[in-house]
Amino acid sequence: MIAEIFSFFYQFADVFAFLILSAAGLAIVFGMMGVINMAHGEFIMCGAYVTVGLVHAGFPLPLAQLCGALAAGLIGVVVEWTLVRKLYKRPLDSLLATWGLSLVVTQGMLLVFGSSVAGIGTPEGSFMLGEYSFSVYRMVLFVAALGVLAGIYLVFMRTRFGVHARATMQNAAIAQATGVRVNRVYALSFGIGAGLAGFCGALYAPTMTLIPTMGAAFLVESFVTVVVGGANVLLGTAPAGILLAVIRTALNGWGGQIVGQIGMLLAVILVIRVLPEGMSGWFARRSR
């Protein structure tokens, strides 16, 4: 009985981790700058590739993963400085431009690296509960997702950078007038968003085949979570993650992966129609 309940929780935790880890970076970029980063999947891919490359070079896995996240973050800062910066307040153009970038990167990687690269295996370790066997690594991912949420909370709520960032989110012009280096906030925020995407890729690298288009597997999920959650990462992304994970787990169980994906897309369509600002907008309005 306990095993059954835990089994459901395990599946939920698995989906929840996937949603949170893939969406966190996108949510920060969208919430901060109103930019829809269609190249989000490529930062994930970057984190995964760097991780795998370093592991093959002899690095221990956790260190390689951190480096993967860092690499993606640094590249994110460069991308922000050269491209995204020109596209604030132009959500349609930022969507198109980052989509173009995504195509360039994935096709470029396919040309240079070919379609697949030797991966790394999932760290072993499982535990039993009743008749079910569960992977330890999957639970690590769940803990990592919680850690990411906690980290975002700490950074945005308890640091000076966080205060500056939230001020910029509310009203960039006034924030700048009070001395906040808005450009730096944007660059760092995009870097954090890209770094979180890289972290997601790094964490999932041991569980997936590495192909240049692997980012696409995360894109739909992360998008749906961000749209359903709304612009506020803490108020929106986390509850959206919970809600969508429940829905997805139920749909997966009933009809399989494809039904789950279709269900998520239908959820996006419904939420945009009914709750245009996502759950964070709904929460914000209720508290007024």
Could you list the residues that contact another protein (CB under 8 A)? 36, 83, 86-87, 91-93, 95-97, 99-105, 107-108, 110-111, 216, 220, 223, 227, 258, 261-262, 265-266, 268-269, 272-273, 276, 288
**Residue in 90, 94, 78, 16 with CA at minimum distance from that of residue 43:** 78
- Of the pair 87, 141, the CB lying nearest another protein is at 87
The DSSP element (H or E) to which 60 belongs, if any, is none
- Of the pair 61, 83, the CB lying nearest another protein is at 83
What's at 170, amino acid-wise?
Q
CA distances from 71 to 46, 112, 119, 194, 198 (A): 8, 19, 18, 9, 8
The DSSP element (H or E) to which 128 belongs, if any, is strand 126-129
Rounded Cα gap, residues 247 and 15, in angstroms: 10
CB of 127 to another protein, least distance (A): 33
CA distances from 197 to 192, 209, 256, 260 (A): 8, 17, 26, 22
Rounded Cα gap, residues 99 and 206, in angstroms: 27
CB of 192 to another protein, least distance (A): 22
Which pair of tokens denotes residue 72? 């993606």
Rounded Cα gap, residues 232 and 18, in angstroms: 19
CB of 84 to another protein, least distance (A): 11
CB of 92 to another protein, least distance (A): 6
- Of the pair 108, 130, the CB lying nearest another protein is at 108
CB of 259 to another protein, least distance (A): 8
Rounded Cα gap, residues 129 and 269, in angstroms: 39
Q: Please, is 158 exposed, middle or buried when counting C-beta atoms within 10 Å of its C-beta (0-12, 13-18, 19+)?
A: exposed
- Of the pair 74, 101, the CB lying nearest another protein is at 101
CB of 285 to another protein, least distance (A): 9
- Of the pair 26, 141, the CB lying nearest another protein is at 26
- Of the pair 159, 257, the CB lying nearest another protein is at 257
